[in-house]
Chains A and B, each alone.
Chain A
Amino acid sequence: MGWLEGRFEESVITTSLEQAMNWARESSMWPMTFGLACCAIEMMAVGCSRFDIDRFGAGAFRATPRQADLMIVAGTVNFKMASRVRRLYNQMPDPKFVIAMGACTCGGGPYYKYGYNVVKGVDLVVPVDVYVPGCPPRPEALLEGLMRIQDKVRGMKDLTKEQPIDVPIPSRSGYVLLPPELSDPVKADAFAKKNKELATPAKG
């Protein structure tokens, strides 16, 4: 408590209950030990002394979802793992937060096109709060992601306003609404053909 020493008379500190709760919550964001692939190595580096996620109160990696507030999905999620990821998420107590760490969890990454077994983004499985892109992201980037989660906690008003809205799982389907000219295969073919004609250089 070095920086607080000698600043106060013997007195009472007032704050709103909500702020005090948010302050406690953001300063003890316990993540779940949850490494799926190479990003986990970088997550371990964040936990070690050089980067030290403990400075932000998030160093207590829990081995069970029931004691964790934060799920750092570090690494490629494949279809076989997806149901387990969702189950672990469901086992976490509210309020719970998810960081999608790395390119694979943000949107499939290098496996987007030819990875037959890779989920194209973990947000198809669980709702994601913060995306940390990179392959793998630098430890500083993950710390930044954690700080954004803390910002989010600081803004929570679950006593005065109503509870945060329950996000349906998954919060997005991943399907893209196509423009009308591409909506069915026949129209899409005609559209491609027309574009090709437009692209051919005029003769003469």
Chain B
Amino acid sequence: MPKLKAEEIIAAVEEKFGGRVKSKKLDAIDPFFVIEPGDLIEVCTFLRDDSRLRFEMLNSISGVDYFEPDPKKAPKAGFEPHTEVVYHLSSITHHHRAVFKLILPRWKDNKPGELPDVPSVSSLWKTANWHEREVFDLSGINFVGHPDLTRILLSDDWVGHPLRKDYEFPLEYHGIRGR
């Protein structure tokens, strides 16, 4: 079976979903496309089951926080505050890869403390279970439909999501000085 180039993979997705692919970037080292969270399950099912693509393996899910905590530097930062979730996929059958992103607000409905929602893909790839727990733990993304969305690295009673740029270190954790 042929190994597809990144452009061809993105073209196949665009052919199927048309305007629901919001944007794409082909000159990056890992060319990627951007979709809406609402289309995630549909697109992932297509990527996994289409005979040309066959992405059986989910390499990783990452959360990226775009935010400049210093108000003086914020206008020069070059981006609006937002969060991204990045999915890396591999096909073992065809030996090709794909990357796609979701772009989310930092907080759901702009209410600080309300985590943004993303549908869980743990029903499609089993490995997504722990990846999503890690992203939830450190970056604070709420994966809707996840079987057990609890913290995976930090202790259960931890407050906040440490890889968010506006995270404040705890002064004290169970009587032990934190900073």
Q: Does A156 contact B (CB under 8 A)?
A: no
* Chain A 111-131: CB-based contact to B (< 8 A → 1; otherwise 0): 000001101100011000000
**Is B176 a contact of A82 with CB atoms below 8 Å?**
yes
Q: Is residue A83 within 8 Å, beta carbon to beta carbon, of the partner chain?
A: yes
Q: Are A173 and B167 in contact (CB under 8 A)?
A: no
Contacts of A125 in B (CB 8 A): 176
Docked complex: A146-204 residues within 8 A CB-CB of B: 170, 173-175
Interface centre among A83, A116, A119, A120 (most CB of B within 10 A): A116
Closest to A174 in B: B177
**The one of B155, B162, B177, B178 that contacts A80, using a Cβ cutoff of 8 Å:** B155
Is A124's CB under 8 angstroms from B176's CB?
yes
Measured between C-beta atoms, what is the minimum distance from B100 to chain A in Å? 29
In the bound assembly, the distance between CA atoms of A173 and B173 in angstroms comes to 12
The verdict on A51 contacting chain B, using a C-beta distance below 8 Å, is no
The yes or no answer to A23 lying at the interface (CB within 8 A) is no
Set of chain A residues within 8 Å of B154, measured between Cβ atoms: 79-80, 117
Beyond A79-B155, A80-B154, A80-B155, whether A120 also contacts B177 by CB under 8 A is: yes
Q: Which of A83, A116, A124, A175 contacts B162 (CB 8 A)?
A: A116
Encode contact with A along B160-179: 1 for CB under 8 Å, 0 otherwise: 00100001011001101111
Determine the main DSSP class of A at the interface with B. loop
Q: Are A79 and B174 in contact (CB under 8 A)?
A: yes
A115: nearest residue on chain B (CB-CB)?
A: B169
Contact pick for B174, options A83, A116, A173, A175, CB 8 Å: A83
Assess whether A173 is in contact with B155, with CB atoms less than 8 Å apart. no
Does A116 contact B167, Cβ atoms closer than 8 Å? yes
What 7 A-B pairs come out closest when comparing CB atoms?
Answer: A174-B177, A116-B162, A80-B155, A79-B173, A124-B176, A116-B169, A82-B176
Q: Which residues of B contact A (CB under 8 A)?
A: 153-155, 162, 167, 169-170, 173-174, 176-179
A-B contacts besides A116-B167, A119-B176, 5 pairs, CB < 8 Å? A80-B155, A116-B169, A116-B178, A117-B153, A120-B177
What are 13 A-B interface contacts by the 8 Å CB criterion? A79-B155, A79-B174, A79-B176, A79-B178, A80-B154, A82-B173, A116-B169, A116-B170, A117-B153, A120-B177, A120-B178, A124-B177, A175-B177
